[in-house]
Amino acid sequence: MAIIKLFSGSHCLKDEVVRNIIETTGYQEITDQDVVQTSAKHSDMSETKLFRAFSARTSVFNKFTREKETAVAHLKLALSSLLDKSEFIISGYSGLLLPRKISHAMGVCLIADLKSRISNAVARESLSKKEAQKSIRRSDGDCAGWTALLFDIYDPWNPSLYDMVIPMDKKKPEETANKIIQNAAKDVVRATSDSIQAVMDFRLAAEVEVALSRNGHHCGVNADVGEITLTINRPVLVLNRLQEELKSIVEKVPGVSAVNTVVGKSFHQSSIYRKHDFKLPSKVLLVDDEREFIETLSERLQIRDMGAAVAFDAKSAMDVVAQDEPDVMIIDLKMPGINGMEMLKRIKQTRPNIAVIVLTGHGSRDDQEQCMAMGAFAYLQKPVDIDELGDVLKKAHAKINNRWD
């Protein structure tokens, strides 16, 4: 029988369907938790960061760190290591990582109308109708973000993504499970030499993606019996140099017999290909109500390959701190609402590992002594020399990454 990839909208009775399939077939279930745990064991990414890949929300720092793309690469590699036999069901987001050319993996989508899903949520989760709607909306957003990330398709229930789309408002879980089992037994989804090779290609491609990400690179990867094709989707100033660097990395991956590079359909977009340099700070949050100053400073740091996002007030900054975990913050003292001194105090209470650099044009000697006593990493005066600031940022980044001497 085929591998079953089961993707579902929330409150569409997926658990009941999975249980029926397992009880009837003896299949083993691979969950997103299984894939994440396996990935965390063999990578330097935490389970929390890996799970964030499934969320529609993307960190403001992701364009600098490519953390989500790195997580997906590691998830692919973890999933490929679990594909040691055919009789299992992959339930959740992870199944969509398998390429369609693995023809003995049958994609199934469970979805229902909103009324039915709300009814299920109210009855089975003891939610109010309002809570159920909010939960469903949030879950659907994550599903749409996942299919957009993987396939550039924003409708997660698009039939082109699956072999079967089953309306759960019209089917019972037992009936649905039987239908899936019947289709999984058909000859059209039996394993063939080509589909087994596709599994090996999937694993090799995942190994290549991980190798590239560890060297700060991200591009499209396709494997075909040992031959790797890399697709560069962002413009680059010196294409030949990038191609040679990518090839030198990929050629070292065991099982790779040849490497080709091509430019993709997005190659001519405005953003420039940026290699992630792990020695430079890439999660810097700048906080200042002087918009022109802080935006210019962010641009100047980015030119120097440092990833810098901006917030124009303390409240917005604290929201970023809570959701995106910056490594370094540069804050002004004089701001409307919560001032820099109070923000420094709150950061050190809630996120003591963040290195905070105070950059102000209004501070005094007493302010400096107080900020340093509260745990600030450095205290600088405006106007600041950009090279001096860059050096301080590098030292803060080194300290955070245990390279402080």
CATH classification at residue 360 = 3.40.50.2300
Q: Tell me how far apart the alpha carbons of residues 374 and 377 are, in angstroms, rounded to a whole number.
A: 9
Same domain membership, residue 158 and residue 66: yes
In a domain, 256, yes or no: yes
Q: What is the mean pLDDT of residues 92-116?
A: 96
pLDDT of residue 270 exceeding 80, the answer is no
Could you write out the DSSP letters of every residue in 319-378?
HHHHHH--SEEEE-S--SSS-HHHHHHHHHHH-TTSEEEEEESS--HHHHHHHHHTT-SE
Which residues, including other chains, have CB under 8 Å from residue 404's CB and lie 6 or more apart?
395, 398
Q: What is the mean pLDDT of residues 335-355?
A: 92
* Amino acid symbol at 160: S
Burial 109-130 (b: 16+ CB within 10 A, else e): bbbbeeebbbbbbeeeeebeee
Q: 234 or 48: which carries more pLDDT confidence?
A: 48
Q: Tell me how far apart the alpha carbons of residues 138 and 142 are, in angstroms, rounded to a whole number.
A: 6
pLDDT of residue 268 exceeding 70, the answer is no
Q: What is the mean pLDDT of residues 218-232?
A: 96
Same domain membership, residue 90 and residue 8: yes
Predicted confidence at residue 275, as pLDDT, reads 82
pLDDT digits 0-9 by tens, 125-160: 999 999 999 999 999 999 999 999 999 999 999 999
Same domain membership, residue 134 and residue 34: yes
In a domain, 127, yes or no: yes
CA distances for 382 relative to 257, 358, 360, 362, 385, angstroms: 55, 10, 5, 8, 9
Same domain membership, residue 88 and residue 229: no
Same domain membership, residue 289 and residue 185: no
What confidence tier does 259 reach under pLDDT thresholds 50, 70, 90?
very high
In a domain, 332, yes or no: yes
- The answer to whether the CB of 195 falls within 8 A of the CB of 102 is yes
Report the SS3 class of residue 75: helix
Predicted confidence at residue 8, as pLDDT, reads 98
pLDDT of residue 231 exceeding 50, the answer is yes
Same domain membership, residue 292 and residue 254: no
What confidence tier does 1 reach under pLDDT thresholds 50, 70, 90?
confident
Q: What is the mean pLDDT of residues 384-390?
A: 94
Of the residues 263, 292, 324, the one at which a domain ends: 263
Same domain membership, residue 9 and residue 153: yes
Q: What is the mean pLDDT of residues 364-376?
A: 94
User: Which range of residues forms the domain containing residue 107?
Assistant: 3-189
Count of domains for the chain: 3
Predicted confidence at residue 254, as pLDDT, reads 98
In a domain, 239, yes or no: yes
- Residue showing tokens 């405006």: 382
In a domain, 172, yes or no: yes
* Residues listed for the chain: 405
Residue 123: CATH number of its domain: 3.40.50.300
Q: C-alpha 240: how far from its chain's center?
A: 29
- The answer to whether the CB of 308 falls within 8 A of the CB of 284 is yes
- Give the torsion through C-alpha atoms of 77, 160, 55, 16, to 10 deg: -90
Q: What is the mean pLDDT of residues 401-405?
A: 55
Q: C-alpha 285: how far from its chain's center?
A: 19
Q: Tell me how far apart the alpha carbons of residues 98 and 94 are, in angstroms, rounded to a whole number.
A: 8
pLDDT of residue 404 exceeding 50, the answer is no
Q: C-alpha 15: how far from its chain's center?
A: 25
- Alpha-carbon dihedral sign for residues 387, 391, 396, 400: positive
Q: What are phi and psi of 379, to 5 degrees?
A: -130, 115
Predicted confidence at residue 80, as pLDDT, reads 96
In a domain, 405, yes or no: no
Same domain membership, residue 144 and residue 232: no
Q: What is the mean pLDDT of residues 284-293?
A: 95
Q: 56 or 405: which carries more pLDDT confidence?
A: 56
What confidence tier does 114 reach under pLDDT thresholds 50, 70, 90?
very high
Q: What share of the chain is helix, strand, coil (3-state, %, to 5)?
A: 50, 15, 35
Predicted confidence at residue 86, as pLDDT, reads 66
pLDDT digits 0-9 by tens, 23-43: 999 999 999 999 999 999 999
Same domain membership, residue 144 and residue 86: yes
Q: What is the mean pLDDT of residues 357-362?
A: 91
In a domain, 204, yes or no: no
pLDDT digits 0-9 by tens, 164-178: 999 999 999 999 999
Same domain membership, residue 246 and residue 292: no
- The answer to whether the CB of 305 falls within 8 A of the CB of 334 is no
Predicted confidence at residue 172, as pLDDT, reads 96
Predicted confidence at residue 363, as pLDDT, reads 79
Predicted confidence at residue 234, as pLDDT, reads 82
As a whole number, the mean pLDDT across the chain is 93
Burial 20-29 (b: 16+ CB within 10 A, else e): bbeeebebeb
Of the residues 231, 263, 295, the one at which a domain ends: 263
Predicted confidence at residue 267, as pLDDT, reads 65
Predicted confidence at residue 405, as pLDDT, reads 39
In a domain, 274, yes or no: no
- pLDDT above 90 coverage of the chain, percent: 85
Instruction: Cite the DSSP H helix spans in 160-290.
Output: 173-184, 193-214, 239-250
Same domain membership, residue 144 and residue 291: no
Same domain membership, residue 152 and residue 234: no
Predicted confidence at residue 87, as pLDDT, reads 85
Structure tokens at 225: 């019996």
Of the residues 172, 189, 206, the one at which a domain ends: 189
